[in-house]
Structure 1
Amino acid sequence: MSARVAQLAPERTLRRLELQVTRRLDGLLNGEHLGLLPGPGTESAEARLYQPGEDDVRHMDWAVTARTTTPHVRDLIADHELEAWSLVDLTPSMDFGTGTLVKRDLAAAALAAVGFLTVRLGDRAGAYLLHRDGLRRRPARTGKAAMYALLQAVLDAPATGAAPGETTMTGARAGLSRGTAPHGDLAAAITSLDRGQTRRGLRVIISDFLAPLDDPGGTGTGGGPAAAGHVQPPWERPLRRLSARHQVLAIEIIDPRELDLPDVGLIEMSDPETGAVHEIVLSRRVRERYAAAAAAQRERTRAALRRSGAHHLVLRTDRDWITDIARFALRQRRAAGRPVTTAGARP
């Protein structure tokens, strides 16, 4: 997806994206329900007698066993007709990109990877879209047409104002304030997703996870004394609550220019969240300090996601995102002890 769908043939571009996802990932995820995060079912079935050598002792129903004095197990029924909900960060920092994609386009691609595989299994996919002016909900629907509409909404998302088919949630309902929502409201958006969708299932958070940090050193950059120690991102606590009930996949979107700066001398830089513009001389010392602060920020993000219990997938605007997703899926399957099927896959 090298250009915005709104500017080029939308249907053709989205169909090409669908073919990319299904052809190159389907062989790896074939037969797996929500295969990016394989796991057992969650709905309990009736208890039955334990069959030695056939049943997993971890499924032993100890209450029934104690009551009947005969070993019983309780099967788990695989989930069907689930709802996979995604939270997509569309705040201004996602409109940046120096690689082959803008971060917003890569977020749409990540959403497509989850969405197309979800709707192909007959499940419903819905999304919460985090804009600078609030949080909007796209209802969970099944079918490719609904998936196309959702992707189109992500790529065409205006700076303000709700698009058709979206429910705008501001104030108390969404946990977001009216007007401009700073990037730190990712925490409130995760809380809203957790409270609004209580049925167990897959939750996907797609964001660059850039959030303002308390900076007791007064640097205002997130790279001063506060960055050196343990600073909990504002979204970590709500993400931990979300992970306690659901399978959570955190997809971090990054651009290589966010990790280091070029040696170009004097340059004007603007903050996409606030619009503030500063002239900065990119000397070697400044570039080294920036690279160190960026590395520290990424390490904080990794550590916070690990503590919250979410699975972490990194996608870069200068890399083949389908290959990165395929490798992630392979690692998840191997970690879960699932067989890896590669027939038809071309990662």
Structure 2
Amino acid sequence: MVPALQGVDTANLDRLHLHITRRLDGLLQGEYLGLLPGPGSEAGEARAYRPGDDVRRMDWPVTARTTVPHVRTTVADRELETWIVYDNSASLDFGTQDLFKNDLALRATIAFTYLAGRGGNRTAAVHAGPDGPVIVPPRGGRKGARALLHRLAKVPTQAGVGLDRLLANVNKASRRRGMVVVVSDFLDETDWASYLKKLAVRHHVVAVELLDPVELALPDVGVVTFKDPESGASVEVQTRSKRFRERYAEAAREQRDAIAAGLRSAPASHLRLRTDEDWLRALTTFIASRRHVAAHR
């Protein structure tokens, strides 16, 4: 088991950033612009309606003039503002593989900050603090992104601030349409899905779900004591019981299905990263699938 992340010094964070960006450049081909942000928000030209087009983009004046249904296309904004919702709750201080979930959260944040922050784009963040949500205002360029990452790397685990409050603060603080990347395990028991829906009205939302394999299936390792990192409550279980392991796996599937349903209802683009897999390859596969969808719209 790898020790939990307890802060990252400047040199280690810079090396980690360099490693991730080099691997991304090696795995990704072509331009990233317009793939993660979605179709954009600036009005473009009108074209004839095709089955599957969003009816909210109907251009009624052109439709009335031509008597043929038309939709108004959109153009991606030249400057993208990206908000990172960085979940530093106690449930992320867990891992049984090469990484803890909070280690994976930092790495995913580095990758998305790099992808979204090039070309002068602005990045911002919100995380939990002792007195509630903390806003890190948008800043542009590499220096702004680097300052953001160094700040998030030093954020300690914080209990008592729900994911719903973090999302609500982004909705209030964001001044323009853009992208919101939510990095979390989504184990929060608040009604975060309804706040995600509100964000998705104005922004393209990417939900990065962090997962450890033990959260899906228990190994047969005898008596184990589990402790809730949020409440501190503990329980002792016998993992040699096949019936118990089956019930655990079924409950875990139901929990993950409920999370996926909440993300779909927003709607949000859903990326699942695991502590026991090559998360960078999972990320590039996700981006490739987004490109495919964008190309066939």
Aligned equivalents of 2:274 and 2:69: distance in 1? 51
Unaligned runs of at least 5 residues, structure 2: 50-56
Letter in structure 1 aligned against 2:127: L
Residue aligning to 2:116:
118
Match of 1:326 among 284, 288, 295: 284
Letter in structure 2 aligned against 1:243: A
Q: After TM superposition, give the deviation of residue 338 of structure 1 in Å.
A: 5.6
Name the SS of the counterpart of 1:199 in structure 2.
Answer: coil
Change (3 A) 1:314 1:159: closer
Q: After TM superposition, give the deviation of residue 68 of structure 1 in Å.
A: 9.8
Residue aligning to 2:43:
44
Match of 1:197 among 171, 174, 188: 174
Runs of 4+ in 1 over 4 A off after TM superposition: 2-5, 58-61, 64-75
Q: Give yes or no for contact 1:87–1:130 (8 Å, CA) kept in 2.
A: no
After alignment, is 199-208 or 8-17 more displaced?
8-17
Aligned equivalents of 2:92 and 2:118: distance in 1? 28
Q: After TM superposition, give the deviation of residue 263 of structure 1 in Å.
A: 1.3
Aligned equivalents of 2:70 and 2:191: distance in 1? 45
Aligned equivalents of 1:24 and 1:143: distance in 2? 23
Count of aligned pairs: 285
Q: Deviations over 1:108-150 (max 9, x none)?
A: 1211221111222220111111356521111111222332332
Residue aligning to 2:188:
211
Residue aligning to 2:97:
99
Name the SS of the counterpart of 1:260 in structure 2.
Answer: coil
1:6 aligns with 2:8: yes
Residue aligning to 1:290:
248
Change (3 A) 1:75 1:159: closer
Q: Give yes or no for contact 1:102–1:317 (8 Å, CA) kept in 2.
A: yes
Q: After TM superposition, give the deviation of residue 297 of structure 1 in Å.
A: 0.2
Match of 2:222 among 265, 268, 279: 265
Q: Normalized against structure 2, the TM-score is what?
A: 0.85
Letter in structure 2 aligned against 1:134: G
Q: After TM superposition, give the deviation of residue 301 of structure 1 in Å.
A: 0.7
Q: Give yes or no for contact 2:32–2:115 (8 Å, CA) kept in 1.
A: no
Residue aligning to 2:202:
245
Letter in structure 2 aligned against 1:142: G
Letter in structure 1 aligned against 2:179: L
Residue aligning to 2:53:
none
Q: Deviations over 1:23-82 (max 9, x none)?
A: 323x1xx33425235x3331125x7xxxxxxx7324884426757999998664430122
Aligned equivalents of 1:159 and 1:15: distance in 2? 25
Aligned equivalents of 1:67 and 1:236: distance in 2? 40
Q: Normalized against structure 1, the TM-score is what?
A: 0.73
Letter in structure 2 aligned against 1:6: V
Query: How high is the sequence identity, in percent, across the aligned residues?
Result: 39
Aligned equivalents of 2:84 and 2:156: distance in 1? 19
Change (3 A) 1:309 1:70: closer
Aligned equivalents of 1:244 and 1:75: distance in 2? 17
Q: After TM superposition, give the deviation of residue 18 of structure 1 in Å.
A: 2.4
Residue aligning to 1:156:
154
1:299 aligns with 2:257: yes
Change (3 A) 1:278 1:71: closer
RMSD: 2.9
Unaligned runs of at least 5 residues, structure 1: 48-54, 161-179, 213-232, 340-347
Aligned equivalents of 2:156 and 2:67: distance in 1? 64
Aligned equivalents of 1:155 and 1:23: distance in 2? 25
Change (3 A) 1:124 1:266: same
Change (3 A) 1:35 1:70: closer
1:24 aligns with 2:3: no
Aligned equivalents of 1:137 and 1:312: distance in 2? 24
